[in-house]
Amino acid sequence: MAETAVCQLFPVRRGGALVHQTWAVDEPAALRFHPMGPDGGARLRRELEEMQRHLPRWVLTVSEDLRRIPCPSCDSTLVFSHGLRCVACEKEPGRRVPTGRATLAWFGLLPPIGVDTLSELRDSLLVSPPQLHPVGRAEGIGSYLLVPLVASYPPGFPSRPVAVSYLPTFFTIRGMPPAKPSHVCHLLSDGQMCLFAANDWREEMTCRQVIEQRAYAHVIKLLNFANGKKNAFAIVS
């Protein structure tokens, strides 16, 4: 019996209205960008199903050097729908996204992060948020920020850990450190989070676990650091 396809959705504008585009993930096309280790398709299916259950608004896409590769035609998001194509204009990037350099990645927004307690950041953040970082207000949360991340599968995964990166615009927030290696802020180069100590990664860990259990906390700590809490990443024993 054939497995049920994993479907994804993403908001796009059609004729001035915001609609949700849906598609079934083309898993064979995705595997051309990363073999996903010895279990191949089974590991990819596990990753897809976990993300669908826990982070359903995230989409499988491609990255290069830990940066999301946008559509060469319209700058929107590439997804695996009947091959690799743009979710907005539906054009295929073709050779402009070579499988030799690009890898599989996830792109999406974290759950809302309340910012009312960030007194040094709140006002400027709500008036002028970074590009692609929506802000709003909701009952029970107050003012909030939505932070987009890129989570890439590196060559050698699952022997090597998922790499999670901020978008460059995140570092334009007032008080943020530069997007370069920092022991104080647990950052690697180009805005990549340092999420694992030596020998801390386990091959059975999934992208969903990394995002929920480690990346989300990193974002909150970095926002607190920018707000003036310079020991935000200190280990509490």
Same domain, 120 and 217: yes
Task: Find how far residue 20's CA is from the centre of its chain.
Answer: 19
In a domain, 39, yes or no: yes
Query: Is residue 236 scored above 80 in pLDDT?
Result: no
Q: Which domain holds residue 129?
A: 113-226
Same domain, 117 and 220: yes
pLDDT at 72: 93
Distance CA 45, CA 31 (A): 11
CA dist 68 → 2, 64, 106 (Å): 31, 7, 9
Q: Which of 91, 106, 121 is the last residue of a domain?
A: 106
Q: pLDDT tens digits for 160-203? A: 999 999 999 999 999 999 999 999 999 999 999 999 998 999 99
Place 95 in a pLDDT band, splitting at 50, 70 and 90. Answer: confident
Same domain, 178 and 98: no
Distance CA 169, CA 149 (A): 11
In a domain, 236, yes or no: no
Cis peptide leading into 158, omega within 30 of 0? yes
Same domain, 82 and 150: no
SS3 of 82, please? coil
Q: pLDDT tens digits for 43-88? A: 999 999 999 999 999 999 999 999 999 999 999 999 999 999 999 9
Q: Domain total for the chain?
A: 2
Mean pLDDT of the chain: 94
pLDDT at 96: 79
* 148-152 sheet: strands from edge to edge: 67-68, 59-64, 103-109, 148-152, 163-166
pLDDT at 14: 81
In a domain, 119, yes or no: yes
- 115, 126 Cβ separation under 8 angstroms: yes
Q: pLDDT tens digits for 96-142? A: 787 778 999 999 999 999 999 999 999 999 999 999 999 999 999 99
Question: From the DSSP assignment, how many helices (H) and strands (E) are in the chain?
Answer: 5, 12
